[in-house]
């Protein structure tokens, strides 16, 4: 597959690593104080309730301890993180109006091209603010709302107030509280009853500034009998100082609606990715998560599905790739809180060059939820002897009337398999890449095409060792 | 151009992990157009010879040389040997999840020929070759060897051989575990591929395959050495008396 390899070199990691000069109109001091929070709120010209919400969250943040499990966060010093950086531009609806350097970054990441070809709407966030948002007119005519959170707070204040951080309250954990205090940017999507959005919407989050945090908030509400596929992409150039991403995603799936939420996260390896994602699903509704975790120094990410309506379904498909210097603690949580709810979890992880992939999952079935069904499968592949892989699936069941299938497998890449492929003229690197691509194939086929290609390219880049 | 394809001189090989010597001085010459058969009891070193020729890292050459196409290949990597025209049909082919037979073979053909194999012409090629081997077309889109029966795996090896068109094919116990019909198909495959420019080294424990493929030379491998070489009559002798007679003959080794 020489041609594919050439393609790989074309989309070198260098694209992700392009750094633009810092060009901002406003930036807070690093660290976290009441004044900084008030500053952010003032900059955004927010309603009072939101300002108070931020201050309350800050209080909770300072009281909450760091988590005592999972990743080592001792190197993450909030005093060195700049929580708010407003790029030197207003949000645009015409791509041509976006400043040249920012535009170039997104062009290289393939964003506007993706919009022209296969998306119904696109949002692009650069550091703390969304710089571009657009949606096809026919969707607007049907009543679909797709905009940045700031605009939503201004134009749809009632809806935001009803849902904002109700599913992930600031009291949830320390980084949820942090998010509540300093959130900025993100996407707001509202799909009215009965509307099927056939082509995906996509938001892309880019963190350019060194030593900064990105705290975007994504709020999606899909009403009864509607359908939406939302895609989220994330990346950042590599710096020597730590960056932090503590986003929050809240998804409300109403009766008989389906929401598919796909993410490919490719943060640079100085990033702490402590992200919280949660969906609540009503009667006969469906949430489908597709989650690819590649970048970051440390990730703690467990998208959660709360199946609260009878017959609600969740499906989680995830792949995690931990290379040198990376500790990726990922998984998913499912709560069966109503009768006849079903869940499927399919997780794959790969570790190489001393990388550590940790699968942590929770399956909980409430006492009064009967007739539930769940299938959990997690497999790990280690590419060498230095790398590590763990699996910790926690299952808490309070009733007997449930059908559960569980399978976990951890293995090393086999020398004999590599030898077999090499005996057909395929080089060692390509043989490994082929085995890994094959390993994640069940995930790749769930992704939109351009993301599947990107995922395969990321695997090739990782295995060629081109990433510093 | 030399007629010689492969020359093995005093080859000694041990298992890399425990330094146990398995091949204790092998000498062999294979010319273009020839079919050689290596027979011998289990544990005599037949598969070690096959794996060493293909360059498996588990086996360490401690003495001697392997010359293929006038080049010493002792230190070449497995894929470099394959690119020179060496092929090994495995006794137990590996199962590779998520990679289809067609995708795998197109990648392999591209690697070996250094020419990008276009999807449509390659599909035509693979379909034609599969038909010749009485393989159902749907195998092309199945994952490599995953869920294949023993016979299907062996056929798939022959399919790969016929598509990659090697100069020297080593068949490691390709006939073991096959019923008569499958053995016939494998033999027909070999007979179709053979010509004046290529050669075969067929490793087998018993000689069913030899009813369908006429070898030029038969060698007996015993305790890491080729103790006897001859023609087809040697195989007949084994068939009649088993390995005991030869073992007794060379009991001192």
CB pair distance less than 8 Å for A423 and B97: no
Q: How far apart are CA A425 and CA B55, in angstroms?
A: 12
Q: Which two tokens stand for residue B154?
A: 């062996």
Q: Calculate the CA dihedral of residues B150, B151, B157, B159 and round it to 10 degrees.
A: -150
Averaged pLDDT for residues A233-238: 76
Q: Does B32 contact A at CB distance below 8 Å?
A: no
pLDDT 10s digits, B30-59? 999 999 999 988 888 999 999 999 999 999
The bridge status of strand A298-301 relative to strand A271-281 is: parallel
User: Strand A327-330 relative to strand A298-301: parallel, antiparallel, unpaired?
Assistant: parallel
**pLDDT interval class at B239 (50, 70, 90):** confident
B136 burial class (0-12, 13-18, 19+ CB within 10 angstroms)?
Answer: exposed
pLDDT exceeds 50 at position B175:
yes
Rounded to an integer, what distance in angstroms lies between the CA atom of residue A199 and that of residue A122?
Answer: 11
Q: What's the first-to-final CA gap in chain B, in angstroms?
A: 38
The pLDDT assigned to A10 comes to: 30
Tell me: pLDDT of B86 over 80: yes
Percentage of chain A with pLDDT > 70? Answer: 92
Q: Looking at the predicted structure, is the pLDDT value of residue A328 above 50?
A: yes
B253: pLDDT confidence band, cut at 50, 70 and 90? Answer: low
Q: What is the ipTM of this complex?
A: 0.95
Residues 6+ apart with CB under 8 A from B59: B13, B14, B15, B16, B22, B48, B51, B52
Choice among A2-16, A107-121, A321-335, B199-213 with the minimum mean pLDDT: A2-16
Q: pTM here?
A: 0.81
Residue B252's pLDDT is what? 63
Hey, which residues 95-134 in chain B have their CB within 8 Å of chain A?
A: 96-99, 104-108, 110-112, 114, 116
Chain A interface includes B52 (CB < 8 A):
no
SS3 B250: coil
Please give the mean pLDDT across all residues of chain B: 91
- With cut-offs at 50, 70 and 90, classify the pLDDT of residue A57: very high
User: Considering only alpha carbons, which residue of chain B is nearest residue A444?
Assistant: B98
Pairwise CA distance, residues A53 & B18, whole Å: 68
pLDDT for A14: 58
**For residue A236, how many C-alpha atoms fall within 13 Å in the half-sphere facing its CB?**
32
For residue A345, give every residue at least 6 positions away whose Cβ sits within 8 Å of its Cβ, in sequence order, or none: A316, A332, A334, A361, A363, A374, A375, A376, A377, A378
Kindly tell me the burial class for residue A392, based on how many C-beta atoms sit within 10 Å of its own C-beta (0-12, 13-18, 19 or more). middle
Q: Are A199 and A227 in contact (CB under 8 A)?
A: no
Confidence of residue A13 (pLDDT cuts 50, 70, 90): low
pLDDT classification of B2: cutoffs 50, 70, 90: confident
The SS3 call for residue A452 is helix
Q: Radius of gyration (Cα) for chain A, nearest Å?
A: 21
B88 touching A (Cβ < 8 Å): yes
Regarding predicted confidence, which is higher, A365 or A130?
Answer: A365
A429 touches chain B (CB under 8 A): no
CATH no. of B4-48+64-249: 3.40.50.300
CB contact set of B181 (below 8 Å; sequence gap of 6+): none
* DSSP H/E element including A407: strand A402-412
- Residue A128's Cβ-count burial label (10 Å; 0-12, 13-18, 19+) is buried
Give the chain B residue nearest A428 (alpha carbons). B79
Whether pLDDT at A394 is above 50:
yes
Contact A438 B77 (CB under 8 A): no
Do A32 and A78 form a contact (C-beta atoms < 8 A)?
A: yes
Does B167 reach chain A within 8 Å, measured CB to CB? no
Pick from A260-274, A330-344, A437-451: least confident = A437-451
d(CA A6, CA A319): 24
> Does the pLDDT value for residue A4 go beyond 70?
no
Contacts of A430 in chain B (CB under 8 A): 107, 111
**pLDDT score of A467:** 32
Model confidence at B200: pLDDT above 90: yes
Query: Which residues have CB under 8 Å from A259's CB, separation 6+?
Result: A220, A222, A227, A228, A229, A230, A251, A253, A279, A285, A286, A287, A288
Nearest to A1 among B90, B110, B143 (CB): B110
pLDDT at residue number A7: 29
Tokens found for residue A157: 């204040």
**Cβ separation A430–B111 shorter than 8 A:** yes
Interface test with A, best of B56, B80, B87, B107 (most A CBs within 10 A): B107
Across A166-190, average pLDDT: 95
Give the pLDDT confidence score for residue A455 in this predicted structure. Answer: 73
User: Which two structure tokens, joined as six digits, stand for A360?
Assistant: 């942590």
Task: Name the percent of chain A lying above pLDDT 90.
Answer: 54
Contact A438 B99 (CB under 8 A): yes
CB-based contact (8 Å) between A435 and chain B? yes
Asked if A428 is an interface residue toward chain B (Cβ–Cβ < 8 A), one would say yes
Chain B interface includes A437 (CB < 8 A): yes
pLDDT at A15: 63
Check pLDDT > 60 for residue A134: yes
Residue of A nearest to B161 (CA): A424
pLDDT band at A350 (very low <50, low <70, confident <90, very high): very high
Per-domain residue ranges of chain B = 4-48+64-249
């Amino acid at each position: 597959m020489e041609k594919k390899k050439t393609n790989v070199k074309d989309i070198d990691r260098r694209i992700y690593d392009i750094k633009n000069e810092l060009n901002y109109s406003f930036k807070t001091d690093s660290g976290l104080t009441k004044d900084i929070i008030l500053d952010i709120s003032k900059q955004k010209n927010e309603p009072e309730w939101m300002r108070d919400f931020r201050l309350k969250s800050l209080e909770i943040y300072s009281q909450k301890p760091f988590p005592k499990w999972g990743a080592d966060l001792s190197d993450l010093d909030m005093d060195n993180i700049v929580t708010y950086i407003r790029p030197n531009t207003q949000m645009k609806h015409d791509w041509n109006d976006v400043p040249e350097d920012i535009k170039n970054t997104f062009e290289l990441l393939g964003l506007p091209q993706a919009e022209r070809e296969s998306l119904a709407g696109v949002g692009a966030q650069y550091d703390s603010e969304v710089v571009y948002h657009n949606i096809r007119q026919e969707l607007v005519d049907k009543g679909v709302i797709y905009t940045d959170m700031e605009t939503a707070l201004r134009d749809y204040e009632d809806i935001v107030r009803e849902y904002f951080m109700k599913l992930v309250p600031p009291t949830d954990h320390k980084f949820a509280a942090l998010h509540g205090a300093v959130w900025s940017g993100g996407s707001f999507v509202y799909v009215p009853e009965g509307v099927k959005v056939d082509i995906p919407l996509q938001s892309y989050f880019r963190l350019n500034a060194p030593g900064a945090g990105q705290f975007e908030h994504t709020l999606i509400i899909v009403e009864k009998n509607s359908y939406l596929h939302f895609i989220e992409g994330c990346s950042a150039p590599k710096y020597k100082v730590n960056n932090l991403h503590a986003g929050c995603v809240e998804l409300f799936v109403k009766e008989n609606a389906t929401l598919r939420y796909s993410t490919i996260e490719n943060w640079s390896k100085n990033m702490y990715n402590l992200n919280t994602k949660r969906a609540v699903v009503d009667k006969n509704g469906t949430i489908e998560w597709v989650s690819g975790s590649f970048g970051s120094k440390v990730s703690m990410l467990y998208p959660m599905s709360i199946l609260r309506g009878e017959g609600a379904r969740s499906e989680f498909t995830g792949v995690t790739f931990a290379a040198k210097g990376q500790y990726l603690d990922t998984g998913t949580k499912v709560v069966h809180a109503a009768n006849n709810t079903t869940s499927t979890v399919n997780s794959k992880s790969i570790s190489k060059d001393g990388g550590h992939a940790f699968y942590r999952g929770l399956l909980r079935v409430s006492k009064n939820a009967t007739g539930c069904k769940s299938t959990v499968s997690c497999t790990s592949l280690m590419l060498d002897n230095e790398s590590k892989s763990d699996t910790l699936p926690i299952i808490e069941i309070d009733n007997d009337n449930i059908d559960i299938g569980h399978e976990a497998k951890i293995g090393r890449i086999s020398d004999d398999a590599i030898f077999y492929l090499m005996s057909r003229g395929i080089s060692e690197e390509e043989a490994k890449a082929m085995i890994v691509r094959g390993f994640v194939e069940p995930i790749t086929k769930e992704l939109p095409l351009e993301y599947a290609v990107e995922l395969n390219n990321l695997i090739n880049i990782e295995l060629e060792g081109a990433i510093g | 151009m030399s007629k010689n394809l492969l020359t093995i001189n005093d080859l000694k090989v041990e298992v890399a992990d425990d330094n146990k010597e398995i091949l204790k001085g092998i000498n062999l010459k294979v010319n273009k157009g020839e079919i050689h058969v290596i027979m011998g009891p289990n544990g005599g070193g037949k598969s070690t010879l096959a794996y060493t020729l293909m360059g498996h890292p588990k086996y360490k050459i401690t003495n001697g040389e392997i010359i293929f196409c006038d080049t010493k290949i002792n230190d070449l990597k497995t894929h470099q040997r394959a690119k020179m025209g060496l092929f090994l049909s495995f006794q137990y082919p590996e199962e590779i999840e998520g990679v289809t037979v067609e995708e795998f073979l197109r990648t392999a053909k591209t690697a070996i020929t250094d020419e990008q194999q276009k999807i449509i012409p390659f599909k035509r090629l693979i379909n034609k070759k599969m038909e010749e081997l009485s393989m159902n077309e749907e195998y092309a889109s199945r994952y490599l060897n995953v869920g294949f029966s023993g016979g299907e795996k062996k056929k798939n090896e022959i399919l790969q051989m016929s598509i990659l068109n090697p100069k020297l094919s080593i068949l490691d116990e390709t006939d073991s575990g096959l019923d008569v019909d499958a053995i016939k198909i494998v033999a027909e495959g070999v007979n179709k591929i053979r010509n004046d420019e290529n050669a075969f080294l067929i490793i087998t424990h018993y000689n069913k395959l030899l009813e369908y493929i006429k070898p030029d030379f038969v060698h007996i491998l015993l305790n890491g050495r080729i103790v006897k070489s001859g023609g087809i009559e040697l195989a007949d002798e084994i068939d009649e008396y088993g390995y005991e007679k030869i073992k007794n003959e060379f009991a001192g080794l």
